Amino acid sequence: MINIKTLSKKIIRKSLYYLLLSPVLKRTNWYRNMFVENIYPSNSWYRQNPERNFDLVVLGSSSAKWAFDFTNSGIKAMNWAQQPQTLIEDYNLFRNFHSILRKGGVVLITVMPFTGLNKQTGLYDALKYLHVDAHEPIQPHLYRKAALISQIPLLLGLPALKALVKYCIGKDAPLKSNKNAMVNENHMDEAQLIQNALNYINGWKMQFGIKDLSNPLTPGNLKGREYRINLMRTIIDFCKERNYCPIFVIPPMTEYLKRHLTPEFEELYIYSFLREVNRDIPTLDYSRNETFRNPNLYFNSFFLNNRGRKLFTHQVLSDIASLDSSIISPSQRESLIAQTH
């Protein structure tokens, strides 16, 4: 027979344990590292920043995060890419914050090697956007559970306890740093670049259940592709309905990584996907651009470094300025040309 009084005491003790220790855990870098930096134009952002009518925003995942640097470009732009970020998160970020763009503003939709396949999301994907002040959840999957854990992080169990112990003994995890990405040259030697590229390839194969990159898509990936096609159409239609200018951008990569992604792979995973999206928007494709094959423009085999980002951003802005007047008006084109020279 259950002793109600004893059970109540246990519940009270456990509740106090979670509630009293959670504020301590929230001070740890382990906890803070779970969330993306709130760089988005939320209500609080608008109260602190007078700027409006931005020219451009970037949507995308890891490669896009390190592809652009609009500092001193003369362009009012925001890069909303995160590492990593799914297409539904791109869409929800844009739906929540698109009003920062001026009429006719440019939306760069960055296309990575596996943008056409759907990524399974989990609890940490929902957690990372919880501190973004949005009208609707950026990652709705597991949102309620993530919201509870953000308030009582000890519910994560063993990882939370380990983080708490490390914090108490002065061995807290370091805060996430962009230091490696801020270099002006690549500090990896050739052997390291070869291995780094192989790590990306093997990671993607494992993530998407792919044995051979030249094989036809698996049934699961075909289903995910259909979802992504419809979602990409939705993003583009959302842009056009509000008089924005969506543009696909395919970023470059080093030859060390590029050699694994054959023309057959690109057709199967990238170009056929974009054709099936079937929306008439420009595509700026830098995957074969020889200028950006130089490994010294990257900080690993995939992501552009400080110098590479500035060169690439200038190239993209120049190419946008060169688009015909059905895409960019003459006045917008003249403005972009003036700002990029």
pLDDT attached to residue 123: 86
pLDDT value of position 126? 87
For 189-230, what is each residue's pLDDT tens digit?
999 999 999 999 999 999 999 999 999 999 999 999 999 999
The angle formed by the CA atoms of residues 330, 59 and 96, to the nearest 5 degrees, is 95
As a whole number of angstroms, the distance between CA 140 and CA 144 comes to 8
Give the three-class secondary structure for 163. Answer: helix
Residue 113 lies in a domain: yes
The reported pLDDT for the residue numbered 142 is: 87
| 277, 175 Cβ separation under 8 angstroms | no
pLDDT digits (tens, 9 = 90+) for 290-317: 999 999 999 999 999 999 999 999 999 9
Give a yes or no: residue 174 inside a domain.
no
226 in any annotated domain: yes
In a domain? residue 48: no
Distance CA 9, CA 203 (A): 48
**Region of poorest pLDDT, from 71-85, 170-184, 185-199:** 170-184
Q: Do the domain assignments include residue 35? A: no
pLDDT bucket at 12, cuts 50 / 70 / 90: very low
Digit-coded pLDDT (tens) for 76-113: 999 999 988 999 999 999 999 999 999 999 999 999 99
Looking at residue 154, its pLDDT comes to: 83
Domain that holds residue 221: 57-122+179-339
pTM metric for this prediction? 0.87
DSSP label at residue 209: T
Task: Determine, yes or no, domain membership for 287.
Answer: yes
Which of the four pLDDT bands, split at 50, 70 and 90, describes residue 177?
Answer: confident
CB 117 within 8 A of CB 224: yes
Domain annotation covers residue 51: no
Lowest mean pLDDT, pick from 2-11, 30-39, 179-188, 331-340: 2-11
First to last CA, the chain: 82
- Mean pLDDT to the nearest integer, 123-138: 86
Per-residue model confidence (pLDDT) at position 48: 81
Angle subtended by helix axes 219-241 and 87-97, to nearest 10: 20
Mean per-residue pLDDT over the chain, rounded: 87
**CATH code for position 221:** 3.40.50.1110
Tell which residue, 112, 139, 137, 100, has the closest CA to residue 123.
139
Residue with the larger pLDDT of the pair 271 and 74: 271
In this structure, is residue 198 part of a structural domain? yes
Grouping H, G, I as helix, E, B as strand and the rest as coil, residue 105 is strand
Q: How many domains does the chain have?
A: 1
- pLDDT bin (cut points 50, 70, 90) of residue 1 is very low
25 pLDDT higher than 90: no
Largest CA distance in the chain: 82
